Structure 1
Amino acid sequence: MDTTQLLKGVLDAAVLAVVAQEDGYGYDIVRRLRASGVESGEASVYGTLRRLYANGSLTSYVVPSESGPHRKYYGITPHGREALKIQRKEWQEFADTVAGLLGERNKVAR
């Protein structure tokens, strides 16, 4: 199944969930998403980080690096935690609905 379209609807929640576990810089967040099985392009994740920062769900700070350019880290704000809580609830309701539609009890007799 191509999950590209499904991911577009939940990428904000996935990024918030990863950052809620631990602050991280852009590529670190991409890597952690991929390690969790969420395959998303770097550009999509970076765009999501910028959008979540702009709407107040994330904060950012710069950490100097001895082996390259400084890294911009993202952390979750109280607004972001509340948004994640709501998105988790909405996702669970949606997943339950789809599971019911796809489940054995809803098979049409042939």
Structure 2
Amino acid sequence: MNIENAQVQMRKGILEFCILHIISRGEVYASDMLDELTSARIMVVEGTLYPLLTRLKNAGLLDYKWVESSSGPPRKYYVLTENGKLFLDAMEATWFDLSDSVRTIIHKTGESGQSNTLS
């Protein structure tokens, strides 16, 4: 089994959650999302981000507005819709439940009394 593939799949699984969370803080431009994801070591390229943003918009979870730019063409800024906020709240609850469950499994003490941590 290839560890890099497993890591990529884990990151892909939380990408939508992370993007919605970034947008939840206020209007955001796609390149700013890419910068934040990259600084958090979640490597994403435009070819992945834009189709995901389109899918989230088509699902009614986010919207965008065009803003004129003095340094080039207008920029598209994304915002969450009310449905997007509700969806994010549900995803956040699921994330905390899931992370607690995983933490419980990872830190469970085996019969030998030793913790099964992955550190």
The answer for unaligned runs of 5 or more in structure 2 is: 115-119
Amino acid at match of 1:55: A
Count matched residues: 109
Q: Tell me the distance in 2 between the aligned counterparts of 1:96 and 1:36.
A: 21
The residue type equivalent to 2:101 in the other structure is T
Q: Following TM superposition, where does structure 1 have runs of at least 4 consecutive aligned residues deviating by more than 6 angstroms?
A: none
Alignment of 1:106 with 2:109, yes or no, is: yes
User: Highest Rg: 1 or 2?
Assistant: 2
Report matched runs for 1:1-110 at 5 Å: 2=4, 3-103=7-107, 105-109=108-112
Residue 64 of structure 1, CA deviation: 1.0
Letter in 2 for 1:89: A
Question: What is the TM-score when the length of structure 1 is the normalising length?
Answer: 0.87
Structure 1 unaligned blocks of 5 or more: none
Greater RCO (Cα-Cα under 8 Å, separation 6 or more): 1
Deviations 1:28-51 (A, max 9, x none): 111122233432222222221111
Cα RMSD over matched residues?
1.8
**Mapped contact 1:100–1:106 kept (Cα < 8 A):** no
